[in-house]
Amino acid sequence: MARIMEETRKAFITGNEAVTWGALAAGAEIMFGYPITPQNEVMHYWTRLAPQYGKGFLQTEDELSAGFTVCGSVQSGKKAFTATAGPGNVLMQEPFGMAEAMRLPLFAVIQQRGGPSSGTVVYSQQEVTLTTFGGNGEGHRIVYSTASHQEIYDYTIKGFNTAWKYRFPTFLLGDGYQAKMREPLEMYNPEDRGIEMIDTYPLIGLPGHIGENREPQHLCNIYSLEEELYEVVMRVSAEYEAISPELVEYEEKECEDADIIVLSHGVVSRAADDAVKELRAQGIKAGYFRPITLRPYPQKQLREAIAKSGAKKLLIAESAYGQLDRLTKQEIYGETIKIENLFMPGVGIIDYDIISKVKSSL
């Protein structure tokens, strides 16, 4: 694979550009997409860079097609991806479900915008439920929620590997603020960091003859019999649960003696981090917990943080009306810690909002 970065260098870029450069560095071969704010610059930059690096791009007629063309492309062994947001994410749930059913290594970037429907073109964290459990299935997917441009770059590279290693559709969940804001990050070639990119492989058109010298692939998204489907879903569920412990990622700070743990994800966790530092400086024992993977959820680690701290309260802060809250509650069912909320759907949350809420909760 050709080296994308001549040298590891700091750059000043937007989050959408970080996706594009990360995908290039990861060896992505083709992007399929349909324009929607706030992910447009992923496509814009990919189309500017693709000809320089011999990569492909197809603008499909809508998001359904963009999702399905990724499903097709990865079956031929191409490292393919897409990016979308809001209503586009809704439309792509059908192809994402196909990727779950057929165990396709699909990688998609979601830059959340406000909802419901077309909502706003700007920002929110209202696509948590959709991205983790959208579609008519069981949520057999892997979702990374990033909080900085460095993470967008890092997890784009990682996302391709996760998809091809585990064969579950994999998502990078960003948002309009992360997509558009600018900050420095370090761009590198994966091999310079000792990251081995998994070689892609075709899933169809394999050599040999079925029944003679190889088994069929069984890439199947429809079953005639209920019992057949039952067996498949039970088997895939067991596989997903078995790999979950090695997939979960989280960040935890100051939870050892915390009276209250602030739980947030994505860009809001930056405000939570600042808030916890400020609260500690004021002598208030606040802790910080952030799931990086929303699917699978680091529920064991969160339960442990609650147990060891003896915290009396968990404050869940999100730019949505309870999507992270619901996800967290179902994951830590049985915990008796009191849960407080800071729900600000569609608007940003700053450290001041969290500090005020913590102070009024204690």
Partner 1 sequence: MVVFLNNEPDRIVEAFVGEYASGKSEIAINRALELKDQGRKVTLVDLDTVEPFYTLRPIKKALEEEGLNIIAFSRSDSFGLGETGAMLNPRARWALLNEGDIILDIGYGVFGAQMLNLVEGANESTDLQIIAVVNYSRPMTGTRQRIKEYVEKLGRVDAIVANTHLGNETTWSVIKEGNDEICRVAREMKIPVAYMTVDEQFRDREEMDLDMPIKYLKRYMPSAIW
Nearer to partner 1, 36 or 355 (CB): 36
Element (H, E) at 88: helix 86-102
What end-to-end distance do the CA atoms of the chain give, in Å?
A: 55
Quickly tell me which residue has 């370090």 as its tokens: 186
Residue 174 CB, shortest distance to partner 1, in Å, is: 14
Residue 329 CB, shortest distance to partner 1, in Å, is: 32
Interhelix angle 15-25/149-166, nearest 10 degrees? 40
Q: Site size for partner 1, by CB under 8 A?
A: 22
Which among 173-181, 221-229, 235-243, 279-287 is the span making contact with partner 1, rule CB under 8 A? 173-181
Which among 55-63, 116-124, 161-169, 248-256 is the span making contact with partner 1, rule CB under 8 A? 116-124
Nearer to partner 1, 153 or 168 (CB): 153
Evaluated on CA atoms 90, 93, 96, 100, the torsion sign reads positive
Distance CA 317, CA 269 (A): 8
Residue 327 CB, shortest distance to partner 1, in Å, is: 27
Residue 321 CB, shortest distance to partner 1, in Å, is: 21
Using rule CB under 8 A, residue 124 touches partner 1: no
Give 7: exposed, middle or buried? Use CB within 10 Å, 0-12, 13-18, 19+: exposed
Nearer to partner 1, 12 or 201 (CB): 12
Could you give the 3-state DSSP secondary structure of residue 314? strand
Could you give the 3-state DSSP secondary structure of residue 152? helix
Using rule CB under 8 A, residue 249 touches partner 1: no
Using rule CB under 8 A, residue 184 touches partner 1: yes
Which of 118, 237, 282, 356 binds partner 1 (CB under 8 A)? It is 118
Quickly tell me which residue has 């996302």 as its tokens: 159
Q: List interacting residues with partner 1 (CB under 8 A).
A: 9-14, 17, 21, 37, 41, 45, 48, 118, 121-122, 177, 180-184, 187
